[in-house]
């Protein structure tokens, strides 16, 4: 787990965020947590797209693409480029949709996960556990008790989303690093071809 958070910290640095931004998100109220986490993923998606397109000069323009537009949003583009997996794309889409629900009505500033989950029907709870707990193992020990993914996610939704988000951010950071290595190898190959 510590390696994941090292990658998250590396991505924070790339995005110009203060050290510890991600770790401090867990301390936020539920509304601020979702709003800030979604903003973080919008910036991360924009950066990863600019790296994948090998066009850092258009990063500020890419920022204006919608995150979760099902036809041509950032998430769709990243998934088509194999920069993120299907489950990660689903997580990012659900997170963006939840953020949109919360941000467009100011009265949602009092949002909390306990009330949110309480008001879901059984199928909605199952769907929530699937996306919010994507990064959580099927069974785990938590506070001295063995919990299923379902029990852990429904009793600790913010932590579950936070852990899942860390996994997605770490993978995005690794993709950025992989692209940087690929570019360097191509440049080195080109250099060798003209100097040999």
Query: What does the pLDDT read at residue 27?
Result: 97
SS (H, E, C) the chain: CHHHHHHHHHHHHHHCCCCCHHHHHCCCCHHHHHHHHHHHHHHHHHHHHHHHCCCHHHHHHHCCCCCCCCCCCHHHHHHHCCCCCHHHHHHHHHHHHHHHHHHCCHHHHHCCHHHHHHCCCHHHHHHHHHHHCCCCCCEEEECCEEEEHHHHHHHCHHHHHHHHHHHHHHHHHHHHHHHHHHHHHHHHHHHHHHHC
37 vs 98: CA distance, rounded Å: 11
Neighbours of 176 (CB within 10 A): 21
3-state secondary structure at position 178: helix
pLDDT value at position 191? Answer: 64
Q: Answer yes or no: pTM beyond 0.85.
A: yes
Q: What does the domain layout of the chain look like in residue ranges?
A: 2-195
- Residues (pLDDT < 70) of the chain are 1-2, 187-188, 191-192, 196
């Amino acid at each position: 787990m510590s390696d994941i958070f090292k990658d998250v910290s590396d991505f924070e640095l790339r995005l110009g965020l203060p050290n510890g931004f991600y770790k401090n998100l867990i301390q936020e109220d539920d509304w601020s947590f979702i709003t800030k986490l979604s903003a973080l993923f919008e910036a991360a998606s924009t950066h990863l797209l600019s790296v994948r397109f090998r066009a850092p000069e258009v990063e500020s323009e890419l920022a204006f693409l919608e995150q979760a537009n099902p036809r041509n949003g950032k998430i769709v583009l990243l998934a088509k480029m194999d920069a993120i997996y299907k489950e990660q794309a689903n997580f990012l889409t659900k997170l963006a949709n939840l953020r949109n629900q919360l941000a467009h009505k100011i009265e949602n500033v009092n949002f909390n996960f306990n009330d949110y989950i309480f008001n879901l029907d059984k199928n909605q709870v199952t769907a929530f556990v699937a996306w919010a707990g994507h990064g959580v193992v099927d069974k785990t020990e938590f506070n001295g008790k063995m919990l299923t993914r379902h029990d852990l996610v429904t009793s600790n939704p913010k932590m579950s989303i936070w852990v899942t988000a860390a996994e997605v951010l770490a993978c995005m950071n690794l993709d950025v690093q992989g692209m940087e290595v690929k570019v360097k190898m191509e440049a080195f190959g080109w250099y060798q071809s003209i100097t040999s």
